[in-house]
């Protein structure tokens, strides 16, 4: 399983203690790609901890970055004067947060905690304002020429600035609009330019100030390297867009080694996470992590990330068969974990071991509770649509034992997922509306189909009404009458649903109850409805 392989390599190639770091700029709702990042780091941290290694898993909110664009749906008027200011200094237009950065950082933190990620969080603005980054700033300013040369060497760009810092303008509070003109070991001389960037207008102020204690920030690539040095980071992955040759990770790596004199953290370049599908509201740059959690419960979101090899793109479209299949795979992984999956050959044993490890890393806590009932998602989706069906009773009947608290909890989550899925994503054949009276489509049933329904009614009057028994009876009648599967099962669907396809017929009839089923079958067969005698 890939997490175990990575953990093995990290232990070989880097020394303890293991500081694992991930970071994100809270400039809008977090996209699913950022969620892949934090889950991946959490899984690796979990793996390292289990080997008895000291681990510190950090998550940084880069809230000293400037506001350089607005997510759609925010009031532009309100934010226009704040463009270019550090995200932590931009007020939030609502009442729920003191700042723009705070609002989005808190939102994402609540999401990644919900999927079981447990990093210690920090804010980059604190590193600057408490003076923790002062030595890094001094080093970067003193050796500015070397850093600029590195940027040019690695990226091949001529456009790099002369200093790897951005000064906070004392007059307008912007940080994205300034350029450094000089550094004398005490203060930086700077200018706040109206035309430096397209997304914000500097005030034109020219001044001199101390870069320390929050007066300036390092530019992105140098800041990345400074964090590695500051925290002693040993492991840090990034999306593959950062990991291209000559990209930001390459530059940060050389700055880390040559300027800060530290080793580059073990890199984990991971692939994109895309969420598609017609009905998915997509905002700037992709679907948000929150939107994904509106489709799937946290365990399934985490499973979706962990089961994919990190160098494979995840392209998740919640329509079609995707969600029922994902649930089935999740259940198989759970069965592997709890030792319920048979494996005979060494190859099968390896597969089961990998699946069990996948479930282990996908679980929200490192210690999943004891076995619970896991009724198939497709079945639950069907039950919740049936009038008079109590899902708990159905499951209890299948389990043949009273449900435990863990069972009920699992069931509750499945029922919720099924309801949401049916409302928005389920393909038509999963929707089951049993008609109140005989559907008009029943008029088109053939003589042979009517015969099948009549015989089925006779047998179900006395037979045990369990899904498997009903299914077997139907198969028997199909052969007896020489009907195709489509004609035989189609007849049942037409009689109850008014269409020629549906869920497993045995499960459908068993859930509906004997009296109703027998009466409807006889009506559809064109026989006199016979009063059912108990
Ligand atoms: Zn200014």
The pLDDT tens digits for 306-335 are 999 999 999 998 888 899 999 999 999 999
Do the domain assignments include residue 79? yes
Say how many Å lie between the CA of residue 204 and the centre of ligand 1.
Answer: 6
C-alpha 171 to ligand 1 mean position (Å)? 5
Look at residue 532 in the predicted model and tell me its pLDDT. 45
Q: Is residue 455 part of a domain?
A: yes
Task: Find the 64 Cα to ligand 1 centroid distance in Å.
Answer: 16
Looking at the domain assignment, is residue 333 inside a domain? Answer: yes
Q: Are 17 and 126 contained in the same domain?
A: yes
What contacts 24, CB < 8 A, 6 or more positions away? 30, 34, 37, 38, 59, 60, 61, 62, 108
* Structure letter (DSSP) for residue 168: P
Per-residue pLDDT of 455-489, as tens digits, reads 999 999 988 888 889 999 999 999 999 999 999 99
% residues pLDDT > 90 (the chain):
75
Its domain, for residue 247, covers: 2-132+220-273
Q: Is residue 153 part of a domain?
A: no
Give Cα 173 to chain centroid, integer Å. 36
Tell me, in angstroms, the distance from the centre of ligand 1 to residue 405's CA.
60
Q: How far is the CA of 177 from the centre of ligand 1 (A)?
A: 7
Question: Do 214 and 259 fall within a single domain?
Answer: no
pLDDT at 73: 86
Round the average pLDDT of the chain to a whole number and report it. Answer: 92
349 CA to middle of ligand 1, Å? 65
d(CA 217, CA 87): 13
In a domain, 281, yes or no: no
Query: Which of 336, 362, 388 corresponds to the end of one domain?
Result: 362
**Segment 338-352 mean pLDDT:** 92
* Residue 367 confidence (pLDDT) above 90: no
Residues 501 and 460: their CA atoms lie apart, in Å, by: 21
> What pLDDT does residue 501 have?
87
Contact criterion met (CB below 8 Å) for 150 and 255: yes
From the CA of 28, how far away is ligand 1's center (Å)? 24
- DSSP 8-class letter at 243: S
The answer to whether position 74 is within a domain reads: yes
SS3 of 442-509:
HHHCCHHHHHHHHHHHHHHHHCCCCHHHHHHHHHHHHHHHCCCHHHHHHHHHHHHHCCCCCCCHHHHH
* Nearest-angstrom CA–CA distance, 84 and 65: 9
Question: Are residues 506 and 445 located together in one domain of the fold?
Answer: yes
Q: How far does residue 208's CA lie from ligand 1's centre (Å)? A: 12
168 CA distance to ligand 1 middle (Å): 8
Are residues 7 and 98 both part of a single domain? yes
Q: How far is the CA of 30 from the centre of ligand 1 (A)?
A: 29
Q: What are phi and psi of 437, to 5 degrees?
A: -125, 175
What's the CATH number where 116 sits?
A: 3.40.50.620
Do 263 and 395 lie in one domain? The reply is: no
The answer to whether residues 451 and 502 belong to one domain is yes
Please tell me the distance from the alpha carbon of residue 37 to that of residue 23, in angstroms, as a whole number. Answer: 9
* pLDDT over 70 at 280, yes or no: no
Q: Calculate how far, in angstroms, residue 158's C-alpha sits from the geometric centre of ligand 1.
A: 26
93 and 205 share one domain: no
Give CA–CA dist 526/529, Å, rounded.
8
CATH number, domain containing residue 459? 1.10.10.350
Given its phi and psi angles, is residue 183 left (phi above 0), alpha (psi -120 to 50 degrees) or beta? beta
- Same domain flag for 24 and 93: yes
Number of domains forming the structure of the chain: 5
- Identify the weakest region by mean pLDDT among 142-151, 328-337, 419-428, 429-438: 429-438
- Find out whether 301 and 323 touch, Cβ atoms under 8 Å: no
């Amino acid at each position: 399983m890939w997490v175990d392989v990575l953990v093995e390599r990290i232990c070989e190639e880097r020394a303890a203690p293991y500081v694992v770091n991930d970071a994100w700029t809270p400039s809008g709702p977090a996209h699913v790609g950022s969620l892949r990042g934090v889950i991946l780091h959490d899984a690796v941290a979990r793996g390292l901890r289990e080997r008895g290694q000291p681990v510190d898993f950090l998550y940084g909110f880069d809230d000293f970055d400037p506001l350089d664009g607005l997510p759609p749906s925010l009031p532009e008027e309100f934010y226009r004067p704040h463009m270019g200011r550090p995200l932590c200094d931009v007020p939030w237009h609502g009442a729920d947060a003191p700042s723009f950065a705070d609002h989005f950082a808190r939102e994402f933190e609540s999401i990644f905690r919900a999927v079981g990620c447990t990093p210690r969080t920090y804010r980059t603005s604190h590193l600057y304002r408490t003076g923790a980054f002062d030595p890094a700033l001094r080093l970067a300013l003193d050796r500015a020429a070397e850093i600029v040369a590195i940027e040019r060497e690695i990226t091949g760009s001529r456009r790099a600035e002369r200093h790897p810092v951005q000064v906070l303008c004392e007059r307008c509070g912007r940080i994205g609009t300034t350029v450094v003109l000089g550094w004398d070991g005490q203060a930086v001389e700077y200018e706040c330019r109206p035309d430096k960037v397209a997304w914000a207008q500097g005030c034109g102020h020219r001044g001199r100030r101390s870069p320390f204690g929050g007066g300036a920030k390092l530019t992105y690539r140098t800041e990345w390297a400074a964090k590695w040095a500051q925290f002693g980071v040993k492991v840090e992955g990034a999306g593959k867009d950062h990991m291209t040759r000559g990209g930001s990770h390459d530059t940060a790596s050389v700055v880390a080694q040559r300027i800060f004199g530290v080793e580059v953290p073990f890199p984990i370049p991971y692939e994109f996470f895309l969420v598609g599908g017609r009905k998915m509201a997509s905002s700037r740059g992709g679907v948000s992590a929150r939107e994904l959690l509106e489709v799937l419960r946290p365990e399934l979101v985490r499973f979706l990330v962990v089961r994919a090899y990190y160098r494979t793109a995840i392209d998740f479209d919640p329509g079609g068969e995707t969600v029922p299949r994902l649930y089935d795979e999740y259940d198989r992984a759970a069965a592997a974990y709890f030792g319920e999956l048979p494996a005979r050959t060494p190859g099968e044993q390896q597969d089961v071991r990998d699946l069990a490890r996948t479930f282990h890393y996908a679980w929200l806590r490192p210690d999943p509770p004891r076995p619970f009932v896991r009724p198939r998602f497709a079945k639950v989706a069907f039950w919740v649509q049936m009038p008079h069906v109590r899902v708990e009773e159905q499951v209890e009947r299948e389990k043949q034992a009273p449900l435990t608290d863990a069972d009920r909890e699992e069931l509750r989550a499945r029922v919720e997922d099924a309801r949401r899925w049916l409302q928005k994503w389920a393909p038509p054949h999963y929707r089951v509306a049993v008609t109140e009276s005989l559907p008009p489509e029943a008029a088109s049933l053939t003589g042979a189909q009517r015969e099948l329904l009549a015989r089925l009614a006779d047998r179900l009057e006395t037979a045990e009404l369990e899904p498997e028994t009903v299914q077997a009876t139907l198969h028997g009648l199909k052969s007896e009458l020489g009907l195709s599967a489509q004609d035989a099962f189609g007849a049942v669907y037409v009689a109850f649903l008014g269409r020629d396809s549906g869920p497993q017929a045995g499960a459908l009839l068993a859930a509906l109850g004997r009296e109703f089923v027998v009466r409807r079958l006889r009506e559809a067969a064109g026989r006199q409805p016979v009063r059912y005698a108990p």
